[in-house]
Amino acid sequence: MSIITIQLGQCGNQVGREVFQAIATDLHSTHGLCSKKENDAYQAASKERFFSEEKTGVPAARAVLVDMEPKVIGQTLSVALRSGSWKYDHQSHFCQKQGSGNNWANGYCIHGPKHKEAIMNLVQKEAEKCDRLSGFLTLLSMAGGTGSGLGAFVIVQNYNSVLTLSHLYQTSDALLVHENDAIHKICAQLMNIKQISFQDVNQVIAHQLGSIFQPAYSSDSAVQYSRSPLGDLMEALVPHPEFKMLGLRNIPQMSENSLAFSTFAWPGLLKHLRQMLIANAKMEEGIDWQVRPPLPGLPLPQKQSPNRTAHFNTSIANLITLRGKDVQTADLGGFRDPALYTSWLSAQEALAIWKTPRAFNKYEKSASLVSNSQCLLKPIDAVVSKAWKMFASKAYVHQYTKFGIEEEDFLDCFSTLEQVIASYSSL
Amino acid sequence: MAQSVVVQVGQCGNQIGCRFWDLALREHAAVNKKGIYDEALCSFFRNVDPRSGDDGADISKGKICSLKARALLIDMEEGVVNEILQGPLRDVFDSKQLITDVSGSGNNWAVGHKMYGCQYRERIVEKLRKTAEHCDCLQCFFVIHSMGGGTGSGLGTFVLNVLEEEFPEVYRFVTSIYPSREDDVITSPYNSVLAMKELSEHADCVLPIENESLFDIVSKINQMTKCGKLGSSVKQASLVTSSGMKTTKEKPFDAMNNIVANLLLNLTSSARFEGSLNMDLNEITMNLVPFPRLHYLVSSLTPLYTLADVHVPSRKLDQMFSDAFSKDHQLIRADPKHCLYLACALLVRGNVHVSDLRRNIERLKPALNFVSWNQEGWKTGLCSVPPVGHSHSLLALANNTCVKSTFLELKERFMKLYKKKAHLHHYLHTDGMEQSCFSEALSSLSDLIDDYNQLDVMSCGPAVDPPRLKIAM
């Protein structure tokens, strides 16, 4: 089945291009380290998912590009074309002359309704190109107006984030949240990049997304690659509509130079990944190894406030994807511990495992974890807290009311997110 | 790319405007070697085929034919505008972009605002519409004027009202030059305070600049040049001396006007050049104006003094960031470091990385006092094209309570005259001008000062976090 990617705003478009680039590179990788038959099946599944065949022979990304200003879309299209291995359909983008100026209300109340029909037509056309459509992957930043540049400073970003998140919470099936600061740290500490560019950050995100959405077998008995990646993801991770915030963890992540001097074994990788999960570390460096799951039989630790530092991260559900050599030998027992999960879902139901012997990207073995857990509680709480402080002073509110977002609307959004925070806190 | 239109009003406005156009053309010439009319040029210039008759048809692509500034020049005397029309920039404007009179406003806000405003309204509207019709996406108006005289302050703020009425969705940025204490126009406090009310009510964003600060900066540079500190190392194209008019005789205000023109140059650079990290002009008001009336931004430019200093590059770069927060780089006489920041924008040009921005913000932050609800109140923009002759430059825009010192001083000077009702009758002669105009302008200014005061007072008290919304589980 196919996935249609909707790239929104500066960030969405820049990340989207890197995602397709990462997938195209991986598709044609000669380091698959698996049988030809396996590789062919993987390639076929990946192509169907992300690209449509064009008469010219260059596959076209199943994507719709939307931005309210032309600069980034122009760059995105031309950089993709230059890659030679894939391109965007020259008709599936929509842009205007003037951006939303970091103003969520401008994007939502003005640009949205005005261009809804044109954008939905593009989506429709893209959907008609698919034999079987699994769903939509929408890429955007929370902070901007249309979706602002990643890592850019935006003063009103907390307002925009609150408005974006609360609306997404009501309209999406699941949210994959990337934290800018965490990605920056990965670039600096794991990838060893001295001057981190936007592209570096986007490439890390693209790698993470690619590692989830490239084909994998969704059970040990499966004879073909998963047909409905988004459906399977939902089934594995979102058992309740109140809980749909998903965090991503990958291992290993390192620069190509270090990679040449490293070997990996599944037990080591999975041990780190498990501790990253329970201690809520965003990367394999600086993990707090002191954090342990609560012992069975003992009373649950008291409800902790979301801003405490080190504590055990309770999961609702986890999805682990393993790619590469000897994948069948990997022991995932550490993730089957019931103590990792809430009481209302058994470990059996709460853990999903996808595998493929096909290596991803340049890593001989790699594991990624998508987790529906408390891991995003702290950053979301911080955003709400900062936005609320601003809102209590009525600062910047006039910029939004000007376009039709009233104080009431803000309050609704705040209460939606407070509800989410309260729900996750009480796990 | 969106377009902007510059409206320059009065003697001061027109002189600064012309410096801006001159420098903007130089910048584009330095980058655009092939003479192609591109998106970047389109933002502030039309490309016109002069042979195609009356209005000159726009050429949207290809070679540069004849560039026309997207500008409207307004003055109620002819001197300055005539000089422009005889000067090197004459081809950039045509007669359809001008509105002039012969008799001047006699340093009287009422004459500029009420009398000429009434008389010229239709002509102003018509010419603005014509200019706007040449833009396919008009984003911004830049009004340049002075506060002390009659035409700039009176008619300039009248134009601002017209812009709001006719183009409510287009942003209005105003560059206002505030008079010195020893201004030779006795009525300048009246004019300024009357104009302030209009700025507070009708502008999206005002960049106040004090004549005295410009004077201080220029004399400091002159002094340094004289004692040889800068010596031969001053570049021809430095920020302040880049008038390019060395061959002709330099006028006394040229250096001062150049500083303001450079401010505008840096402010508009990301609108004039492409770049994915550019800051859109509408992002400035969105991020820097937390309350509708508090839209006065204190600006500082660097490098300003040590233009050709040969230091280690990174040290030099960090110094540039430090300088932007020092007192002697501000374009009003105030010290933002010792007052409260509501928000701050850094607009950087040249070969500067996001990591340089982050590093410097982290470095400078501890010494700056930000309002409790905006502790991360930074907005940044990077334009990869540096000013001609420089490797990089920085424009800092601060929404800072220090701006109130300018307003307090203005109010004081206003009161000195107003208590004695001195010169009032000159104003009240004009149709539509009543004494209530003065009292309303005064209370508008007092309210504005109060708003800043309250923020200052609150920042001194203990910071109490507002209780969060409670959710019933």
Q: What is the pLDDT of residues B412-436, one digit of tens each?
A: 999 999 999 999 999 999 999 999 9
Give residue-wise pLDDT tens across range A60-102: 999 999 999 888 899 999 999 999 999 999 899 999 988 888 8
Q: By mean pLDDT, which of A217-221, A248-252, B165-169, B174-178 is the weakest? A: A217-221
Q: How far is A13 from chain B (nearest CA, A)?
A: 12
Instruction: Report whether pLDDT(B236) > 80.
Output: no
* Cα–Cα separations (whole angstroms), residue B387 to A38, A341, B82, B394: 56, 58, 29, 10
B471 touches chain A (CB under 8 A): yes
* Residue B372 touches chain A, beta carbons under 8 Å: yes
Residue A389: CA count within 13 A, CB half-sphere = 17
Are the Cβ atoms of A386 and B380 closer than 8 angstroms?
no
Tell whether the torsion through CA atoms of B215, B221, B224 and B228 is positive or negative: negative
With a cut of 70, say whether residue B232 has pLDDT above it. no
Q: Are B420 and B312 in contact (CB under 8 A)?
A: no
Which residues from A are below 8 Å from B137, CB to CB? 97-98
Half-sphere exposure of B453 (CA within 13 A, CB side): 8
Provide the pLDDT for residue B310: 40
**Which of A149, A389, A399 is facing B277, going by the closest CB pair?**
A149
Bridge partner list, B456: none
Residues of chain A in contact with residue B353, where contact means CB-CB under 8 angstroms, are 195, 197
Residue among B137, B380, B465 minimizing CB distance to A98: B137
Percent of chain A with pLDDT over 70: 94
| Per-residue pLDDT at B238 exceeds 50 | no
Position B59 scores a pLDDT of: 81
| Cα B104 to Cα B115: distance, rounded to the nearest angstrom | 11
Q: How far is CA B427 from CA B121, B154, B433, B434, B435, in A?
A: 20, 11, 7, 8, 9
List the structure tokens of B104: 């001047």
**Mean of the pLDDT values across residues B375-394?**
90
pLDDT at B313: 52
**How many angstroms from the chain centroid is the CA of residue B262?**
9
Per mean pLDDT, which range of A103-112, A146-155, B2-11, B336-345 is the poorest?
A146-155
* B282 interfacial to chain A (CB closer than 8 Å): yes
Tell if the CB–CB gap between B473 and A152 is shorter than 8 Å: no
DSSP B425: H
Please give the sequence-ordered ranges of beta strands (E in DSSP) within B62-164, or none if there are none: 66-69, 71-75, 98-100, 138-146
pLDDT digits (tens, 9 = 90+) for A252-287: 999 988 988 889 999 999 999 999 999 999 999 999
Whether A418 and B468 lie within 8 Å, measured CB to CB: yes
Long-range CB contact pairs, B89-96, < 8 A, 24+: B89/B18, B89/B21, B89/B22, B91/B66, B91/B67, B92/B21, B92/B25, B92/B45, B92/B67, B92/B68, B93/B68, B93/B69, B94/B56, B94/B68, B96/B55, B96/B127, B96/B130
Instruction: Answer whether B282's CB lies under 8 Å from A99's CB.
Output: yes
Residue A189 contacts B, CB cutoff 8 Å:
no
Q: Is the pLDDT of residue B311 over 90?
A: no
CA B35 – CA B256 distance, rounded (Å): 30
pLDDT digit string (tens) for B10-32?
999 999 999 999 999 999 999 99
Is residue B248's pLDDT more than 50? no
Q: Give the SS3 label for residue A393.
A: coil
Condensed to tens digits (0 to 9), the pLDDT of residues B437-454 reads 999 999 999 999 999 999
The CB density around residue B30, as the number of other CB atoms within 10 Å, is 14
**Reported confidence tier of residue A55, pLDDT bands at 50, 70, 90:** confident
Q: At what angle do helices B313-323 and B354-364 cross, to 10 degrees?
A: 50
Cβ-in-10-Å burial (0-12, 13-18, 19+) of A5 comes to buried
User: Chain A residue closest to B140 (CA)?
Assistant: A98
Q: Tell me the pLDDT of chain A averaged across its residues.
A: 91
Chain B residue at shortest CA distance from A414 = B469
More confident residue, A121 or B94: A121
- Give me the mean pLDDT over the B177-181 stretch: 93
* Rounded average pLDDT over B117-140: 96
Angle, helix B79-86 to helix B10-31, in steps of 10 degrees = 20
* Mean pLDDT of all residues in B106-110: 96
Nearest CA in chain A to B40: A71
Residue A309 has pLDDT above 90, yes or no: no
- pLDDT band per the 50, 70, 90 thresholds, residue B51: confident
At residue A421, what is the residue type? I
Question: Residue B22 has what pLDDT?
Answer: 94
What pTM did the predictor assign? 0.91
Tokens of B228: 């040889």
CB contact under 8 A, B283 and A426: no
Tokens 């008609």 label which residue?
A128
User: What pLDDT, on the 0 to 100 scale, is given for residue B249?
Assistant: 52
Q: Report the pLDDT averaged over residues A187-197.
A: 89
So what's the pLDDT on residue A301?
54
Cβ atoms within 10 A of the Cβ of A236, count?
Answer: 21
Question: B interface mutation test: which of A67, A102, A161 has the most B CBs within 10 A?
Answer: A102
Q: For residue A298, what pLDDT is reported?
A: 59
Residue B303: cis peptide before it, omega within 30 degrees of 0: yes
Backbone angles phi, psi at B325, to 5 degrees: -105, 0
Which residues have C-beta within 8 Å of that of residue A393, sequence separation ≥ 6? B290, B371, B373
Dist CA A80 CA B342 (whole Å):
41
H or E stretch at A117: helix A112-128
Beta carbons of B116 and B151 less than 8 angstroms apart: yes
pLDDT-derived band of residue B247, with 50, 70 and 90 as boundaries?
Answer: very low
Evaluate the omega torsion of the peptide bond into residue A252 and state whether it is cis, within 30 degrees of 0: yes
For residue B314, the model assigns a pLDDT of 54
Nearest CA to A203 out of A219, A218, A190, A222 is that of A190
Interface test with B, best of A72, A95, A98 (most B CBs within 10 A): A98
Which is more confident, B356 or A94?
A: A94
- Mean pLDDT on A36-50: 94
Could you give the maximum distance between any two Cα atoms of chain A, in Å? 65
Identify which has the larger pLDDT, A312 or A152: A312
Residue among A149, A156, A422 minimizing CB distance to B471:
A422
A10-32 tens-digit pLDDT? 889 999 999 999 999 999 888 77
- Chain A residues whose CB is inside 8 A of the B465 CB are 385, 389
- Nearest chain A residue to B138 by CA distance is A98
Instruction: Tell whether A118 lies on the interface with B, counting CB pairs under 8 A.
Output: no
If you average pLDDT over residues A231-251, what whole number do you get? 96
pLDDT at A310 over 80: no
CA B77 to chain centre: 23
Per-residue pLDDT, A214: 96
Check whether B368 has a pLDDT greater than 60.
yes
Distance from CA of A48 to the nearest CA of B (A): 32
Query: Does residue B286 carry a pLDDT above 90?
Result: yes
The pairing of beta strand A133-139 with beta strand A51-52 = unpaired
pLDDT of res. A304: 52
Indicate left, alpha or beta for A325 from its phi (over 0: left) and psi (-120 to 50: alpha): beta
Residue of chain B with shortest Cα separation from A98: B2
Partners of residue A418 in chain B, C-beta under 8 Å? 468-471
Position A189 pLDDT exceeds 90: yes
